[in-house]
Structure 1
């Protein structure tokens, strides 16, 4: 499956989700048996760990369809890069979606200067460049920071050497950023 075909499936699934006309594909015992020995997810989704953001649901997909990595603020560091590289190199996934979402708590926490303590600070430090850029934009600061953060992470993924950057240049892998609206269920693709 090409990246464009994968993106079309995600968009169609999200339309069903928004309408409440879900198919819940690939959730039956036959599908479990079919994928027991191998997986071939058509897309990788890097989303926030927020409990309200469940990619399999909001894209109306089932078992084995998506390779999902969830981390607060949908930020990427070595372990996330490695997980995505694995999906691209060994599972042949052609589409990577970085999914930010409305009212993201991690991004909201990054708007201030307070030290949150613990390891939360490492997440906030990854988001801060998006906040700085969003401060120069018109519109809602939080919404802009969430969207810019997803785009920055998407660009980082495209440039991650050697596996992801090579796959984008030569193997038809595409990276897109998106923004999930909790209020209506719609996913807006940003790039």
Structure 2
């Protein structure tokens, strides 16, 4: 029975990932549905939600997950915080998505040119201090940037740091008992980068 449930959850996660990929392809082609929601749909959503994916993304106004994945109301459970950082509050939201909403797919979504990651690089490489609350965000990101080569160009540094930060968030999730139990049960955790200039979402391997 456990194997069957695990296989079913993995299948649902794979299907969810494919839906995100296809939605982003529609968005890039300018064929996004962006459908209006009728009263009947709202009435159904009032009864409860069954999102097929949970997205941990950045607060950046240029990166709205519902639009770039061409998703409708009720399809995505979204947690947004600058730099897609991990905190107790974020982990609580992710735990809720797993335990109560049973989403089979979790995606950590970074984006090119992330300001929070740039601030973390400035602190790491030039010891620049930021305003206290921003520094709290920076301190969450810096540990994941150990491998960034200071000899690279600023653009290359930021590009590599954005990806490193996504992987760092994934690492932190997988370090928790909840993350480990979820993946053992068949849930899928993926990292991705939204390329603002092309509107393409690149999933990490």
Q: Flag whether TM exceeds 0.5 (same fold).
A: yes
Which of 138, 159, 168 lines up with 1:124 in the alignment?
Answer: 138
For the 8 Å contact 1:25–1:61, the answer to whether it is kept is no
Q: What root-mean-square deviation, in Å, do the aligned CA atoms of Structure 1 and Structure 2 show? A: 1.7
For structure 1, the 5+ residue unaligned runs are: none
SS of the residue corresponding to residue 133 of structure 1 reads: coil
62-71 or 136-145, larger mean C-alpha shift? 136-145
Of structures 1 and 2, the larger Rg is shown by: 2
**Structure 2 residue 184 is matched with structure 1 residue 174:** no
Q: 1:138, 1:29 → 2: CA distance?
A: 53
Q: 1:120, 1:28 → 2: CA distance?
A: 40
SS of the residue corresponding to residue 17 of structure 1 reads: helix
Q: 2:103, 2:165 → 1: CA distance?
A: 23
Following superposition, the deviation at residue 26 of structure 1 comes to 7.3
Q: 1:70 — aligned with what? A: 80
Following superposition, the deviation at residue 134 of structure 1 comes to 2.2
Structure 1 runs, 4 residues or longer, greater than 4 Å off: 136-139
Once the two structures are superposed, the pairs formed by residues 139-154 of structure 1 within 5 Å of their partners are 140-154=156-170
Following superposition, the deviation at residue 34 of structure 1 comes to 1.1
Following superposition, the deviation at residue 136 of structure 1 comes to 7.0
**Structure 2 residue 103 is matched with structure 1 residue 81:** no
Q: 1:26, 1:33 → 2: CA distance?
A: 14
Given the superposition, is the C-alpha separation of residues 184 and 166 from structure 1 closer, same or farther in structure 2, using an over 3 Å criterion?
A: same
Following superposition, the deviation at residue 33 of structure 1 comes to 1.2
* Number of positions where the alignment pairs a residue of Structure 1 with one of Structure 2: 189
